[in-house]
Every structure is written in structure tokens, then in C-alpha cells.
Amino acid sequence: MITEQEPVDDPGENLWDDDVYQVNQLTPSRPTRGQRLMHFIADIVVAVILHYVVLFGLILLFIDAGSYPEWLISGLFKQFAPLVWFILHVTFSEMLLNGQSIGKMITGYQVTNTNGTPVEAYRVFLRMAIRLIPFEMFSIFTKSGNSMWHDEWSGTELRFKQKKSARQNNVILD
């Protein structure tokens, strides 16, 4: 016997009506490998820009002194400083920007705990520490490719960040 049910308000309806965002708790839409690559490339570009801005600033500081410190012109600084800027950029942007780095902002993803709640600072640090494991970047080719070691081991995941409508905010508009 088929019974007719009352229509249920679709929580996905009118998601683009308002400028308030929320993390999609209905479906943790996982990023594709290409989107993860885009996050990484955008964050690397930001890290390289940070490197040259800081390097230029340091050079300007030492121009008045008449000489440069040895570490500033050494190959070691030039090689490892971008890695340091990448680590600092991703870690602090994920902490300060509610689980988003510049790369994640571009594609609309956000780091959350596996239950959809906002990510805590210690989990952001743990994610970055796990990223430093050699060959961790190749973990994207394991399992379904939707999560990496730094997601699985830190208890976090990427979720698509959607706009939230006024009705979902429980706002009464006059």
C-alpha cells in the first residue's frame, strides 16, 4: 500500500539566497584529486610569494647596514625557506580562517572534524606534522583517493562549504 507523505522542506533548497556560509553537514562532499592538487598548487604559490616578500624585506633591512648576513645569501636559506613558509601559511591560515587555506577558499572546501564540527588547533598542527612524513603526498593514490593520511590520522576531513539560507539560519524576515 502506498501512502502519500507530506512534503518535507528540502534543506538543500535556496542555499544560495544569503551570504552566510555553513559547512555542508548533509553530505561531506569530498574533493577530487584535481581539487586537492589545486589546493596544493595555490598554497605553494602563496608560500613562494611569502618567501620573496620576506626575502625582499630582509634585503631592504640589511642594505643600510652595508652587508648581508651569511645565512641570507646561502643556498640553504633559499632552498628551505619556501618549505617553512608553506608550513606556516597552511597551518596558521587553517587555524585562523576556520579550516581554510587560500587553496581551499578557491574551491570552497573547509577542514572539519569527521563529525562536521570546526577543526581544533591541535588537529591542524597534527595534520601538518603528518604532511611532513616522506611520501605522504602519495597517500592520495590509496583507497578511494578521497582522503589522505593527514586527514585519516588526524580525524579530519574536507567538506564543501555551502551558503546557508535565511530560513536555515532560523531568521525571521519581516
Task: Please count the other Cβ atoms lying within 10 Å of the Cβ belonging to residue 165.
Answer: 18
Instruction: Spell out a b/e string for 46-79, using b for 16 or more CB atoms within 10 Å of the CB, else e.
Output: bbeebbeeebeeeeeeeeeeeeeeeeeeeeebee
**Closest-CA residue to 62 (of 77, 47, 48):** 77
Q: Which three cell numbers stand for residue 9?
A: 522542506
Give kind and range of the element (H or E) at residue 151. Answer: helix 149-152
- pLDDT of 106: 84
Tens digits of per-residue pLDDT, 98-157?
899 888 888 888 999 988 899 999 999 999 899 888 888 888 887 665 678 888 899 998
Residue boundaries of the structural domains of the chain: 25-164
- pLDDT of 8: 43
- Is 99:110 a contact under the CB 8 Å cutoff? yes
Tens digits of per-residue pLDDT, 10-67?
444 443 443 444 544 445 577 888 888 888 898 888 888 887 888 788 777 777 666 6
Query: Looking at per-residue confidence, does 170 or 47 come out higher?
Result: 47
Tens digits of per-residue pLDDT, 80-103?
777 888 888 888 988 998 899 888
- Is 117:145 a contact under the CB 8 Å cutoff? no
